[in-house]
Amino acid sequence: MTTAVSKPEIGRETVTDQEKWLRAHRQMVSIRLFEEQVNEVYTRALMPGLAHLYSGEEAVAVGICEALRVDDYITSTHRGHGHCLAKGASPDRMFAELLGKEAGYCRGKGGSMHIADPATGNLGANAIVGGSVGIATGAAFSAKALGTDRVAVCFFGEGALGQGSLYEVMNLAQLWKLPVIYVCENNQYNEYTHYAETTAGSILGRATAFGLEAASVDGQDVRAVNEIATRLVKRARAGAGPAFLQCDTYRYSGHHVGDINRDYYRSKQEEHLWKTDRDPIKVLSKWLLEQGYADTASLDQIHSGVRAIMESAVKFAIAAPYPSVDEVEKHVYA
Amino acid sequence: MPERELTFAQAVREALAEEMRRDSHVCIFGEDVAEAGTPFKVLSGLVEEFGAGRVVDTPISEAGFTGVAVGAAMTGMRPVVDIMFGDFITLTMDQMVNQAAKVHYMSGGHWRVPMVMRTTLGATRRSAAQHSQSLHAWFSHVPGLKVVLPSTPYDAKGLLKTAIRDENPVVFFEDKMMYKLKGPVPEEDYTIPLGVADVKRAGDDITLVATSSMVQVALGAAILLEKEGISAEVVDPRTMWPLDEKTLIDSAKKTSRVIVLDEGYGRYGVTAELAAVIAEGAFYDLDSPVKRMGAMHVPIPFSPPLEDATVPTEQTVSEAARQLCNKT
Ligand SMILES: Cc1ncc(C[n+]2csc(CCOP(=O)(O)OP(=O)(O)O)c2C)c(N)n1
């Protein structure tokens, strides 16, 4: 099995600044190139179902997950490939799942929108918008009740701000001082509608109303995301309670791979601006070069190394067998 | 020595207390479950023994705390969620149907959700349309959930203990009119497996398959019928899923006539499913079509004479049985 990047062992997190940000860079490149392959595989009609690409939003998943331990929990969304990879999932088993193969994380029963992996604390991606807010909060309840000092991160798009259950669990989490961080990935669009048309009032005000620590950050700047995430995670781990982090970001592609004609809800010019001026990989690369942490050749090398991993992951998944049909009735009950 | 008797509510409480002593991961979430011990006082005394960290009062957020229970169950706890009235399960639907029921399957068997939801069913408490429904068919329709309907204090204790130890989400429906019903309950630790029906009364001429509140109605009807020379067998499936099809079919084959009774709405409900199972399994041994009796297809009315008309009674059941046996 190929692993994109191995995470330092718990308690062995003394890495240099250079190592840390090269790792973050590599993680973001992994997500970008993973999604490139998804797009390719999907367009070749090899992937059943829907594919919601995370490209453009890499700094959020990576900035947050790099602040977490392997045994911390995350919940993810329909646009979840980035979260799963950033938390340590391996691309070959991810691709196998996307193609419905037995070698996939869920034996092919979950697919793109339901990757789950206990080994990396991934409680599961969720295809109900806002569907995992309770699960993440419950994992934080367990962490507190069992005294494990784990933290739970709940990723959701700004579309989930429309779901009442989010407000129910933020109230609970603050009452019970649970170690959970609600990460709102504001990529500006709920499907095909700008969030301003669906979201009244203030986003952060929703969290501060319950007394949560709340902040917003440029979601294209992985260092900024990581800095604030590190603070919120530390605080939650120390028992200071839940937090809410709004990350402003942008999805480069359509809502899903088939969403090609987007002119009716956003302009090509807007897309172009985000991709050129605010690309998270470009932003970090520029900084790495300035610091002398990397040169163009070494960054290119990372790129081609990751590309090779992704290509072989796709090959692995295509060649992998489907589950046998008698699998259909397995795992309905434990 | 006479057998010890407990009320249904006491049996539920004893099961919870025993399981909470046995396993420190068992905890309770719900509205007014701690000091108040719920409006029905089913849980009174538990917070005093186990503390507010395990008998957890929640805000009035059924979806929220049910979701929290799902996540807590996935990560090491064994929560028992208290939904005050069965009518309020509607607010938990996404958490139960799209999350709890599917987590194990969607994750290819990696995550488990060992949680219990306790709630109520049953009309005739003069509580009107939003506090009187029996909605257990809704959850019985969903693969991944187990659904339990105890009808006696003995069954309540044994089945609840099994439900708490089960590795899956289990919904446990208690008839709110039955909380004061008394019956023998052993003091010792015993469990009743899910998926095993119980013949509450043996008989030869007709089978009354009855669930939860309808078991007492069926037993009452059986006494009325006995006086007229009709011997009725009363079979209680005890769990909607897993379902003990064999016991139902065997009884139907033996008596050749069946009425299925359940307090849920008759249309598209539990009675339809049970009747179909029996019709498929015992068709050639039946002397008449399987008859279904459930709640009328109306919102439960408040006015007592109206409400009483909506659910099967000993009289209506015995009358139907007489007709099936051609003894009118
Ligand atoms: C409860 C629910 N309603 C509607 C949908 C259909 N749906 C899927 S994604 C989506 C938009 C979600 O927007 P957002 O939360 O901002 O996430 P994004 O797709 O932008 O990452 C909708 C409406 C759904 N999956 N679940």
- pLDDT per position as a tens digit, A154-177: 999 999 999 999 999 999 999 999
Asked whether the beta carbons of B267 and B242 are under 8 A apart, the reply is no
Distance A54 CA to ligand 1 centre (A): 14
Could B107 and A104 be called an inter-chain contact, meaning their C-beta atoms sit closer than 8 Å?
no
Average pLDDT, chain B: 97
pLDDT at A6: 53
Same fold, B5-184 and B198-324: yes
- Counting from 1 in the atom list of ligand 1, the atom nearest the Cα of A186 is 16
Residue B246: count of CB within 10 angstroms of its CB: 12
The terminus-to-terminus CA distance of chain B in angstroms comes to: 44
Name the residue of chain B whose CA is nearest to A133's CA.
B67
Question: Does A127 contact ligand 1 (Cβ within 6 A)?
Answer: yes
Alpha carbons within 13 A on the beta-carbon side of B46: 34
Residue pLDDT, tens place only, A203-259: 999 999 999 999 999 999 999 999 999 999 999 999 999 999 999 999 999 999 999
Please, what are the domains in chain A? 17-320 (3.40.50.970)
Q: For residue A14, is pLDDT > 90?
A: no
Question: Does A191 contact ligand 1 (Cβ within 6 A)?
Answer: yes
Could B73 and A138 be called an inter-chain contact, meaning their C-beta atoms sit closer than 8 Å?
yes
Asked whether the beta carbons of B67 and A169 are under 8 A apart, the reply is yes
Per cent of chain A over pLDDT 70 is 96
Could B108 and A165 be called an inter-chain contact, meaning their C-beta atoms sit closer than 8 Å?
no
A-chain CB neighbours of B104 within 8 Å are: 331-334
Average pLDDT over residues B202-213: 98
Confidence of residue A2 (pLDDT cuts 50, 70, 90): very low
Coil, strand or helix at B29: strand
On whether any CB of chain B is under 8 Å from the CB of A177, the answer is no
Residue pLDDT, tens place only, A66-113: 999 999 999 999 999 999 999 999 999 999 999 999 999 999 999 999
Asked whether the beta carbons of A284 and A59 are under 8 A apart, the reply is yes
ipTM: 0.94
Residue among B75, B106, B110 whose CB faces A138 most closely: B75
Q: For residue B123, is pLDDT > 70?
A: yes
Residue B108: count of CB within 10 angstroms of its CB: 23
Q: For residue B10, is pLDDT > 60?
A: yes
Spatial distance between the Cα atoms of A27 and A88, rounded to a whole number of angstroms: 9
pTM of the model: 0.95
On whether any CB of chain B is under 8 Å from the CB of A168, the answer is yes
Residue pLDDT, tens place only, B46-92: 999 999 999 999 999 999 999 999 999 999 999 999 999 999 999 99
Alpha carbons within 13 A on the beta-carbon side of B85: 14
Asked whether the beta carbons of B96 and B65 are under 8 A apart, the reply is no
Average pLDDT over residues A266-275: 97
- Tokens at B308, concatenated: 């009483």
Question: Does A83 contact ligand 1 (Cβ within 6 A)?
Answer: no
Q: For residue A8, is pLDDT > 70?
A: no
Choose which CATH entry (3.40.718.10, 2.40.110.20, 3.40.50.920, 3.30.565.10) describes domain B198-324. 3.40.50.920
Alpha carbons within 13 A on the beta-carbon side of B162: 22
Asked whether the beta carbons of A334 and B167 are under 8 A apart, the reply is yes
Asked whether the beta carbons of A256 and A51 are under 8 A apart, the reply is yes
Spatial distance between the Cα atoms of B32 and B36, rounded to a whole number of angstroms: 5
Q: For residue A9, is pLDDT > 60?
A: no
B211: alpha, beta or left, given left = phi > 0 and alpha = psi -120 to 50? beta
CATH T-level assignment (fold) for domain B5-184: Rossmann fold (3.40.50)
Residue pLDDT, tens place only, A25-79: 999 999 999 999 999 999 999 999 999 999 999 999 999 999 999 999 999 999 9
Distance A132 CA to ligand 1 centre (A): 13
Confidence of residue A1 (pLDDT cuts 50, 70, 90): very low
Confidence of residue B327 (pLDDT cuts 50, 70, 90): confident
Could B107 and A114 be called an inter-chain contact, meaning their C-beta atoms sit closer than 8 Å?
yes
According to DSSP, residue A117 is labeled: B
Residue pLDDT, tens place only, B222-258: 999 999 999 999 999 999 999 999 999 999 999 999 9
- Tokens at A237, concatenated: 């781990």
Rounded to the nearest angstrom, the minimum Cα separation between B152 and chain A is 27
On whether any CB of chain A is under 8 Å from the CB of B64, the answer is yes
pLDDT at B4: 97
Per cent of chain A over pLDDT 90 is 96
One-letter identity of residue B55: V
Domain ranges of chain B: 5-184, 198-324
